[in-house]
Amino acid sequence: MPVQVDEEIRERVLDVADRLYYSRGVQSVGMDALRAEAGISLKRLYQLFPSKESLVEEVLQRRRRLWNGLVETAVATGPTPRARLLAVYDMLARWFDEEDFRGCVFINTFGELGAVAPQLADLVREHKAQFQARLGELVAEAGGPASLASQLAILAEGAQTTAAIAGTSDAAVHARAAAATLVDSALAATTAS
C-alpha cells in the first residue's frame, strides 16, 4: 500500500483507539474491537501496531502532544506571569466541561496498567514530570520559589481526578482559587525577603 494510505489507516486506528480507551478503559477494549471499529483486518492492525501496548503508547504520545498544546495555548493568553500560571486552571475548567470528559487518560491508564506495563508507567511519569517542569518555568518567570511548581501541579492533578469523579468542572474553579492563593503568598514572601 502507498505510504499515504498506510498513514491514513494508522491515524484512523489511533483515533478509534483513543476514543475507545478514553471512554471504556484500555483493558476493556480488545484488539478485535479496535479492528472492527476501525474497519481493518486483525492482520493489518498488527502490521501497523505489533502489540496492544505499542498502540496504547502511541495513543498516549498523541494525548501528550494535545495536552502540551492546550497548556501552551492557555499560557499564551496570560498578560502577566501570574495570569499565565492561573490560565492553566481556566483551561482545565473548559476541558472538564466537555461532554466526553472522563478524567486524565494518563492517570486512567496508569491506574489500569501501571503495575503490569512498566514502559507505559514510565511514559505517564515522564508526562507528569514534564507538566510540572513547565509549571516550574512559569513559576520562575513569576519570580516564585521552585517548590510552588510542585504545589500547583498537585492542584491540577487533583482537580482532574475530582472532576472526573464528580462530573462537574467545580474542581477547576476551586483549584484555581487555591492556586491564586498559593501564587500570591509565594510571590509576597519572595518580595518580602
Q: What is the CATH number of the domain that holds 146?
A: 1.10.357.10
- Counting Cα atoms < 13 Å in the Cβ hemisphere of 180 gives 10
193 pLDDT band, cuts 50/70/90, is low
Asked if residue 107 belongs to a domain, the reply is yes
Q: What is the CATH number of the domain that holds 32?
A: 1.10.10
Quickly tell me which residue has 512498566 as its cell.
118
Three cell numbers written together for 65:
502532544
Asked if residue 142 belongs to a domain, the reply is yes
Residue 190 neighbours by CB under 8 Å, 6+ apart: 143, 144, 145
From the list 78, 73, 68, 89, the residue with the least C-alpha distance to 141 is: 78
My answer on whether 182 and 103 are in the same domain is yes
My answer on whether 166 and 119 are in the same domain is yes
Asked if residue 122 belongs to a domain, the reply is yes
Three cell numbers written together for 51:
502489540
My answer on whether 45 and 140 are in the same domain is no
CA torsion angle 156 159 164 166 (round to 10): -170
127 pLDDT band, cuts 50/70/90, is very high
- For the segment 142-191, what is each residue's pLDDT rounded down to a tens digit? 999 999 999 999 999 999 999 999 999 999 999 999 999 999 999 998 87
Three cell numbers written together for 70:
492546550
My answer on whether 110 and 70 are in the same domain is yes
From the list 71, 78, 75, 86, the residue with the least C-alpha distance to 178 is: 86
My answer on whether 25 and 74 are in the same domain is no
Longest dimension (CA), the chain: 66
State residue 57's pLDDT score.
97
Domain membership of residue 13 as a residue range: 1-50
State residue 124's pLDDT score.
97
My answer on whether 67 and 134 are in the same domain is yes
Quickly tell me which residue has 477494549 as its cell.
29
What is the average pLDDT across 41-46? 94
Q: Based on the structure, what is the number of domains in the chain?
A: 2
My answer on whether 73 and 160 are in the same domain is yes
Asked if residue 131 belongs to a domain, the reply is yes
130 pLDDT band, cuts 50/70/90, is very high
Asked if residue 55 belongs to a domain, the reply is no
Asked if residue 67 belongs to a domain, the reply is yes
Q: Would you say 49 and 55 are in contact if contact means Cβ atoms under 8 Å apart? A: yes
My answer on whether 46 and 66 are in the same domain is no
- For the segment 7-22, what is each residue's pLDDT rounded down to a tens digit? 999 999 999 999 999 9
The pTM score is: 0.92
Helix (H) or strand (E) holding 70: helix 52-76
My answer on whether 106 and 174 are in the same domain is yes
Asked if residue 22 belongs to a domain, the reply is yes
My answer on whether 87 and 177 are in the same domain is yes
Asked if residue 167 belongs to a domain, the reply is yes
Number of H helices, E strands in the chain: 9, 0
My answer on whether 24 and 74 are in the same domain is no
My answer on whether 38 and 88 are in the same domain is no
Is the predicted pLDDT of residue 1 greater than 60, yes or no? Answer: no
